[in-house]
Chain A
Amino acid sequence: MPLYDCMLLLKPHVRKESLMELVARVGKHVYGRNGVLTDITSFGTVQLGYGIKKLDGRYYQGQLMQMTMMSTPNINKELQYLNKEDRLLRWLLVKHRGMKNGKEARYAETSEADLKKYGPSAIYDFEGIEEEDNDEEEYDSEDAERKEH
């Protein structure tokens, strides 16, 4: 049985219990088919690339969950009922890629420097990459300064 990653993108306001219930249902389904859940990772709230339009409006954020499971290949067909799930924005089943020590989990991490990079100073910076580098260094040193105090 191959390893799969089931990615679930839920609406941002869904509460934790509701989310757990959904994950548990998928998990039970897998166990019922003699499969095994090997890992569950939460990516937390992620910003989306565009507003996903559902019946109750547009969503610009979502809660991302990843369930790694070992199951038979027809699991994809069995999970089709998730399309009717109104707590979900998107779901996706992909073959698991042998990532070293849960690399996927770190994808969602946002450092402050990343956000600063896209700030107004970066937008109006036409000088090129050198200048941008300097900016980052400045921010880093500022961060360090703040920690000291």
Chain B
Amino acid sequence: MKLARFAFRSINANLSQESYRFSITRSLSTNPFSGNGNESSQGNNEPADEFERRIFGGGYGNSSDSGSFFRKLDRLQNAGNMRGGPGGGGGVSLDLEDMGESVNTTLSDGMQGKLREAARHFEYDSEEVDKDDYAFRPDVSFKTGMTYEPKDLDLRKPGVRKTRRVEFEVTTKKVLEDADFRNVKFLTQFITEAGIIIKRSMSGISAKAQRKVAREIKTARAFGLMPFTTMGTKSFAFGKTMENLDEDYQYRTYDRREPGDFDTK
């Protein structure tokens, strides 16, 4: 079956090449790089198959670079054919495949077919859509009334996009003005929960301002106003003690005050 397909393909390729042989020989005669091919093709009337094998790098005889040159020529010709109309379409695509095969001659025949089969085979259930639990995007839960954009349906992208959590907005000007080791309230915005200075890609300020912030945070650390690290302890907050209090280890309770509390005062 496979052999038959290949045979058919090569026949077809021959037919399609037959049609533009003349244009190739014309270009050969004007080309300075291929002297020997030129002479032989003009000198004797060899059969079409032999000529083709020699020109298109059939596997022996030709040097590799001249072979690739003809392949290039062939490709150009194919592009012309495609523009030409639907009639040459089938011949063109087959021809391209044929060339791919002549390039990959390293694998044994059986392996080549298996690999091709594996690359093209994709198992899928054609009635998948009718199933009850079918979801076009299983990773996103679309709710009723929700709007989505075309890019939300792009299955190549993850459905739930990672949003950069913007902690705070700060401008370079404000940083240069306010960054001071005494201004702990301001500098606390620039450290993470663990007490690490956030990087510039997160803060989005100029390099100069970032240097200043880092310098001031380090000064504040040395002076005792800010933590070096709060890993394993509670995170630092301005105006709160870092001492281990009993209440830090208690269960949290819902501490919202009743509105009635204020009325009684």
What is A's interface to B at a CB cutoff of 8 Å? Answer: 7, 9, 43, 46-52, 60-62, 64, 66, 89-90, 92, 94, 97, 99, 104, 107-108, 110, 114-115, 118-121, 124, 128-129, 142, 145-146, 149
Contacts and interface: CB of A to CB of B under 8 A. Distances in A.
Contacts of B227: 49-50
B239 A115 contact: yes
Contact of B228 (A50, A89, A90, A94): A50
Interface string B229-265: 0000000111111110000000010010100001101
Contact of B241 (A60, A108, A110, A149): A60
Nearest to A46: B225
A115 B241 CA distance: 11
B180 interface: yes
Contacts of A94: 181, 219
B239 A92 contact: no
A50 B223 CA distance: 10
What range describes how many residues of B lie at the interface? 35 or more
A99 B179 CA distance: 11
B137 interface: no
B182 interface: yes
Contacts of A66: 182
B262 A48 contact: no
17 contacts: A47-B240, A48-B242, A50-B228, A60-B242, A62-B224, A89-B224, A94-B181, A97-B180, A107-B184, A115-B239, A128-B165, A129-B168, A142-B257, A145-B262, A146-B265, A149-B262, A149-B263
A107 B224 contact: no
Shortest 6 CB-CB distances between A and B: which pairs?
A49-B227, A118-B237, A49-B226, A110-B239, A60-B243, A107-B183
A146 B261 CA distance: 10
Q: Is the interface of B mostly helix, strand, loop or mixed?
A: loop
Contact of B224 (A50, A115, A146): A50
A61 B262 contact: no
Interface of B: 165-168, 180-186, 195, 219-228, 236-243, 252, 255, 257, 262-263, 265
Given A9-B223, A114-B185, A114-B238, A107 B180 contact: yes
Contacts of A110: 185, 238-239
Contacts of A119: 255
B208 to A, nearest CB: 15
A121 B256 CA distance: 9
A107 B182 CA distance: 6
Task: Choose among A64, A107, A121 the residue with the greatest number of B CB atoms under 10 Å from its CB.
Answer: A107
B224 A129 contact: no
Nearest to A146: B262
